[in-house]
Amino acid sequence: MEREPLNVADYERLAEEKLDPGAFGYFAGGAGDEVTLRENVGAFRRLRLRPRVLADVSGVSTAATVLGHEVSMPVLVAPLAFQRLAHPEGEVATARASAREGTIFCLSTVATAGPAEITEGVRWFQLYVFKDRGFTRTLVERAVEAGFSAILLTADTPHLGRRERDHRTGFQVPAELVPSLAGHDLLTPEQTFASMADDLSWRDVEGLASMSGLPVLVKGVLTAEDARLACESGAAGVVVSNHGGRQLDGVPATIEALPEVVEAVGGRIPVLMDGGIRRGTDVVKALALGAEAVLAGRPFVWGLAAGGEEGVLAVLQLLRAELELALALLGCRSPAEVTPAHIARG
Ligand SMILES: Cc1cc2nc3c(=O)[nH]c(=O)nc-3n(C[C@H](O)[C@H](O)[C@H](O)COP(=O)(O)O)c2cc1C
Q: How many CB atoms lie within 10 A of CB 98?
A: 29
Tell me what pLDDT residue 3 has: 75
Tell me what pLDDT residue 35 has: 98
| Candidates 159, 167, 184, 243; catalytic one | 243
Tell me what pLDDT residue 196 has: 87
243 CA to middle of ligand 1, Å?
5
pLDDT at 181 exceeding the cut of 80: no
Tell me what pLDDT residue 135 has: 87
180 pLDDT band, cuts 50/70/90, is low
pLDDT at 10 exceeding the cut of 70: yes
**Does the residue 341 lie in any domain?**
no
51 CA to middle of ligand 1, Å?
31
For residues 257, 261, 267 and 271, what is the CA-based torsion angle, rounded to 10 degrees? -60
Tell me what pLDDT residue 190 has: 66
The residue whose CA is least distant from atom 10 of ligand 1 is 79
What would the pLDDT profile of 153-163 be if each residue is shown by its tens digit? 999 999 999 99
What number does the ligand 1 atom closest to the CA of 296 have?
27
**Does the residue 346 lie in any domain?**
no
341 CA to middle of ligand 1, Å?
30
Q: Could you tell which of 128, 216, 246 is best to mutate to test the pocket of ligand 1, judged by most ligand atoms within 8 Å of the CB?
A: 246
For ligand 1, whether the C-beta of 298 sits within 6 Å is: yes
179 pLDDT band, cuts 50/70/90, is low
Whether 243 sits among the annotated catalytic residues: the reply is yes
What would the pLDDT profile of 24-55 be if each residue is shown by its tens digit? 999 999 999 999 999 999 999 999 999 999 99
**Does the residue 343 lie in any domain?**
no
Looking up residue 142, the CATH number of its domain turns out to be 3.20.20.70
185 pLDDT band, cuts 50/70/90, is low
pLDDT at 188 exceeding the cut of 70: no
189 pLDDT band, cuts 50/70/90, is low
Average pLDDT, the chain: 95
For ligand 1, whether the C-beta of 79 sits within 6 Å is: yes
What would the pLDDT profile of 129-153 be if each residue is shown by its tens digit? 999 899 899 999 999 999 999 999 9
In DSSP notation, 132-156 reads SHHHHHHHHHHHHHTT--EEEEE-S
Element (H, E) at 313: helix 298-330
Running DSSP on this structure, what letter comes out for residue 245?
A: G
CB contact at 8 A, 64 and 73: yes
Pairing of the two strands 150-154 and 69-71:
unpaired
Cα separation of 45 and 42, whole Å? 5
Cα separation of 130 and 107, whole Å? 16
105 pLDDT band, cuts 50/70/90, is very high
329 CA to middle of ligand 1, Å?
30
pLDDT at 345 exceeding the cut of 90: no
For ligand 1, whether the C-beta of 76 sits within 6 Å is: no
pTM over 0.85: yes
**Does the residue 342 lie in any domain?**
no
Pairing of the two strands 216-221 and 271-274:
unpaired
What would the pLDDT profile of 238-269 be if each residue is shown by its tens digit? 999 999 999 999 999 999 999 999 999 999 99
Size (the chain), residues: 346
Tell me what pLDDT residue 299 has: 99
**Does the residue 345 lie in any domain?**
no
Inter-CA distances, 139 with 115, 158, 176, Å? 9, 18, 20
**Does the residue 118 lie in any domain?**
yes
Cα separation of 152 and 177, whole Å? 23
Cα separation of 188 and 109, whole Å? 14
**Does the residue 1 lie in any domain?**
no
Inter-CA distances, 165 with 8, 24, 32, 172, 275, Å? 22, 10, 9, 12, 19
What would the pLDDT profile of 192-209 be if each residue is shown by its tens digit? 778 889 999 999 999 999
Please state the φ and ψ torsions of residue 120, each to the nearest 5 degrees. -105, 150
Give the number of domains in the chain: 1
pLDDT at 59 exceeding the cut of 70: yes
pLDDT at 191 exceeding the cut of 80: no
* Domain encompassing residue 226: 8-336
For residue 103, which amino acid is it? T
Cα separation of 112 and 90, whole Å? 7
What number does the ligand 1 atom closest to the CA of 40 have?
26
Please state the φ and ψ torsions of residue 71, each to the nearest 5 degrees. -125, 155
